[in-house]
Amino acid sequence: MSLLSQTRMRCAAAASRLTVSRGLTALALVVLLAIAAATTHQLLNLRAAAIADTDRQLRRLDMVFAEQTGRAVETVDYILNTAIEILQTARRTPPVDTGSIEARLRRRANGIRQLTAVALTDASGTVIFSSRPEASGDLGEAARRALAFHATHPDAGLRISEPLRLADRSWTVLLTRQIASVDGGFDGIAIALLNLAYFQDFFRSVELDDKDAVVLHHRDGTVLTRYPVADAAVGTSFADLPPFKDVLSKGSFGSILMRSPVDGSLRLVAIRALRAFPLAVNVSVDVEETLAGWRRQALLFALGATAAAISTVGLLLLLARRARENERLVNEYAHAKEEAERANADLRQQIAERERAEAALNQSQRIEAIGQLTGGVAHDFNNLLTIVLGNVNLLESTLAPDERNTARLAAIRTAAERGALLIGQLLAFARRQKLSPRPVDLNGVITSMDGLLRSALGNHIILEQYLDPALHHAMIDPTQIELVILNLIINARDAMPAGGTMKIETANLTILPDNREAQTPPGDYVTLAIHDTGHGMPMDVLAKVFEPFFTTKPPGSGSGLGLSQVLGTTQQLGGDVRIESRQDVGTTVRVFLPRATGIMEAVAVTSDSNPRRASASNGHTTILLVDDDLAVRNAITELLEGLGYRVHEAADGEAALELLRTAPEVDVLLTDVAMPVMTGPTLAREALRVRPGLPIIFMSGYANPHQLAMEQEGNVALERLLQKPFRPGQLIEQIDAALGRVEPSAARSGPSIDSVASTAVAS
């Protein structure tokens, strides 16, 4: 080969090597740029997703805070309106009893944690009534401004003041409303002191990060309270900041990124205005803290991208090692993807658990609200029913037999007993009624109710019973389980207007701890199942059947409390209720009742359908009746005298003790539990000092008088108790038991199961 040819070959090879090198270099640069661009794009998307996810969670959390705050303020506003009604009612029937009004104000304010005090002023601004005895007649500057404002703005409604500090260094806000005189003029204001520490406690109950914050504002931006606590911020206005200027000025809720006016940090803020009040709640988080997880993920992505780039460039330069490097990168990518999917699944599970917790919290708050409302109403309502039923008993015994009078009295009695049943259903749903669980033969209860159940179902429904002969005893209240069975039977009957078949089944059931599919807690149960072949329920209706006052029946055909009472009673006994339903197929309601342990004999269920009437022996018995309600006292006195007893009356404890000292013929003391000045348990203790061994019977209209007695007097047991309203037979039985004439029994109070069943059948 010539020297010229060799030179040309070496030049061509050099040119070839130079072209491949440039191509590989250019390709490596393109790969590096592509990886960098893709990594940057992905990281920016992940950052935006992290902020968006946090924004959604903040909005939901802010909505929960706003709804709870609105309920708390709405409760205080309701008490404020109630205080005005109490004052106006008292003024229409003079003289005005200051002590009675202030006592009622204290009862309304008692137990409301977000309320410090409620007070009423005259037109000059002097406090005339207050729930706090230490309140003076002079008002602070904030209250005087509110007085002047309402005097010149009679239609202003509720007014919420700026935050102010009390003498004990706590923060409060004044909620004020105008008091109108009889002629519509200005007659003063009603003031409620909102306890801002209550909202701090509520905000604290939600586990937030160290740099997260929850703030309660005026709608105009003035801070009322904050968690974490920052007294320096209270009273400061942030009206010029974006949450108020850019969000609330255009709508009622939203979120925004902004720099904190306190420390300059970038924060994500969700804000929501309350629907009924000029207040707003905002929740904010530090964006830097929120993106901490994203930074760790970004570091991992950057490391992965760098490794991919080095591997790719190395692959281009060292083709021989391409296969091994490619497998390693594929394995790393698959592992990273699996970890990302697992993290995403964990996040979804956490979100679902939070939503379930929020639903449980809302349900608990509804139950607690109904329980507090029902507990307060039950006492006064049962007193009224005592008066009504007492007078019905007297009229039945004194009026001449007349078909129209008998029908009218029966209608009055039925209406009163339905009222007592309604209170009992509300108490059962709120789990406030007193139960007396004991071992009960459930098969025996169902068998004893057979005639009643068939009467309630009518001739167009076939009733079949499949009762387990080896059924264990259930630990239940025999009276309440009758109401549970009757409620379920009536609901099933109403689901089959054209007729059908109903089955009642009992069985023993054990739920093991490792049974993850069971929704009921593990344990030994006695189950009661009611099957019907009715029209069934869709899923959206099935999800609401246990809500109070929810009903699919036409207006006037049901209160919507039947299944609520079943659930409340069963869960209070330690059991559970499950419903399965298919449209056009039927419904099965399964009640899980706790099994009675040990060797015990089941109780029998008795009725108070035939009470003993007046007898000659009653005339030798003198009763000392003590009740602060005149109408109740008169009704019970006439009932006792109609039964042949001699009666002494007393309106309070002091008068009763004086009668005991001067009237040695008193045989039995019959006293109300809750009375002003001296309570029933206190009177009982003092009476036994005057007359050792004196038989004492308590009576009460409260839902749980035993708990009330414990709160008033400590370790006090109400051995003999009549629950208002009561029947004459129950009263006679307790008197005879107190005098040792008969053994006391667990008599029912209020309407009997027979009266409830007759009402249900009639409807």
Q: Do 641 and 598 meet the contact criterion of CB atoms below 8 Å apart?
A: no
Report which residue type is found at 632: V
What's the Cα-to-Cα distance from 606 to each of 471, 712, 745, rounded to whole Å?
21, 33, 10
Q: Do 431 and 371 meet the contact criterion of CB atoms below 8 Å apart?
A: yes
Give the pLDDT of residue 746: 43
DSSP classification of residue 237? B
Domains by residue range for the chain, with CATH: 3-53+292-365 (no CATH), 58-290 (3.30.450.20), 438-594 (3.30.565.10), 616-747 (3.40.50.2300)
Give the pLDDT of residue 748: 44
- 310-319 long-range Cβ contacts below 8 angstroms, 24+ apart: 312/28, 312/31, 312/32, 312/35, 313/28, 313/31, 313/32, 316/24, 316/27, 316/28, 316/31, 317/24, 317/28
Report which residue type is found at 399: L
DSSP β-ladder status, 186-195 and 115-121: antiparallel
Give the pLDDT of residue 668: 92
241-292 pLDDT, tens digit per residue, is 888 888 888 888 898 888 888 778 888 899 999 988 999 999 988 888 888 8
DSSP β-ladder status, 646-650 and 622-626: parallel
Q: Do 278 and 71 meet the contact criterion of CB atoms below 8 Å apart?
A: no
DSSP β-ladder status, 474-476 and 461-466: unpaired
Q: Could you give phi then psi for residue 476, rounded to 5 degrees?
A: -145, 170
Q: Return the closest-CA partner of residue 606 out of 706, 730, 721, 505.
A: 730
Give the pLDDT of residue 495: 81
- Environment class of 118 (CB within 10 Å of its CB; exposed 0-12, middle 13-18, buried 19+): buried
DSSP β-ladder status, 223-227 and 279-286: unpaired
Q: Return the closest-CA partner of residue 553 out of 491, 502, 499.
A: 491
The residues, any chain, with a CB within 8 Å of residue 377's CB and separated by 6 or more, are: 423
Q: Measure the CA–CA gap between 142 and 630, rounded to whole angstroms.
A: 42
Q: Do 478 and 605 meet the contact criterion of CB atoms below 8 Å apart?
A: yes
721 beta partners? 698
Give the pLDDT of residue 24: 65
Q: How many residues does the structure list for the chain?
A: 763
Q: Measure the CA–CA gap between 684 and 686, rounded to whole angstroms.
A: 6
Q: Measure the CA–CA gap between 97 and 258, rounded to whole angstroms.
A: 56
Q: Measure the CA–CA gap between 408 and 414, rounded to whole angstroms.
A: 10
Give the pLDDT of residue 603: 44
Q: Measure the CA–CA gap between 451 and 195, rounded to whole angstroms.
A: 57
Give the pLDDT of residue 210: 72
575-609 pLDDT, tens digit per residue, is 888 888 888 888 899 999 999 885 444 444 443 43
Give the pLDDT of residue 758: 45
Q: Measure the CA–CA gap between 245 and 224, rounded to whole angstroms.
A: 18
Report which residue type is found at 564: S
Q: Measure the CA–CA gap between 205 and 202, rounded to whole angstroms.
A: 5
The enclosing H or E element of 387 equals helix 322-398
User: What 3 state SS string does 106-162 have?
Assistant: HHHHCCCCCEEEEEEECCCCCEEEECCCCCCCCCCHHHHHHHHHHHHCCCCCCEECC
- E strands present in 181-234: 186-195, 213-218, 223-227
Give me the sign of the Cα torsion angle 118, 119, 123, 125: negative
Tokens found for residue 572: 């209070």
Q: Could you give phi then psi for residue 543, rounded to 5 degrees?
A: -70, -15
Tokens found for residue 99: 């002590």
Report which residue type is found at 513: P
Q: Do 447 and 405 meet the contact criterion of CB atoms below 8 Å apart?
A: no
Q: For 138, what's the count of Cα atoms within 13 Å in the CB-facing half-sphere? A: 2
The enclosing H or E element of 723 equals strand 721-723
Q: Measure the CA–CA gap between 37 and 79, rounded to whole angstroms.
A: 63
Give the pLDDT of residue 554: 55
Residue keyed to tokens 């008033």 = 712
Give the pLDDT of residue 609: 38
- Extract the residue ranges of the chain whose pLDDT is less than 70: 1-24, 134-139, 313, 316-327, 356-357, 359-385, 389-390, 394, 396-401, 403-411, 415-436, 515-519, 543-544, 546-562, 564-565, 598-619, 702-718, 741-763
